[in-house]
């Protein structure tokens, strides 16, 4: 291997790390959503099903950005598209 291939592998590893680091945002926002839903259920126990549905739908949309980051990291590490 020459130095260019090592450089590409190193940059792929750094890019994969940054892509996985993108999962911090969805994790924090899902925690805030669960906390807000718990507070809402505590205030209005009769609306549990509506609150749960809305919370799960919002968390599903939030999780997709985290999954995209994970997919990019897997592609950079395993497939190595720049080689």
User: Do 67 and 20 contact (CB within 8 A), yes or no?
Assistant: no
Residue length of the chain: 83
Taking only the tens place, the pLDDT of each residue in 3-19 is 888 888 899 999 999 99
The C-alpha atoms of residue 70 and residue 9 are separated, in whole angstroms, by: 18
Q: Which domains does the chain have, with CATH numbers?
A: 27-78 (1.20.20.10)
Taking only the tens place, the pLDDT of each residue in 32-71 is 999 999 999 999 999 999 999 999 999 999 899 889 999 9
């Amino acid at each position: 291997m020459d130095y260019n291939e090592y450089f590409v592998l190193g940059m792929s590893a750094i890019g994969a790390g940054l892509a996985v680091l993108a999962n911090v945002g969805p994790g924090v926002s899902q925690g805030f959503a669960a906390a807000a839903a718990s507070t809402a259920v505590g205030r209005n126990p009769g609306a549990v099903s509506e609150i749960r549905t809305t919370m799960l739908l919002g968390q599903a949309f939030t999780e997709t950005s985290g999954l995209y980051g994970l997919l990019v990291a897997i592609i950079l590490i395993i497939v190595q598209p720049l080689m």
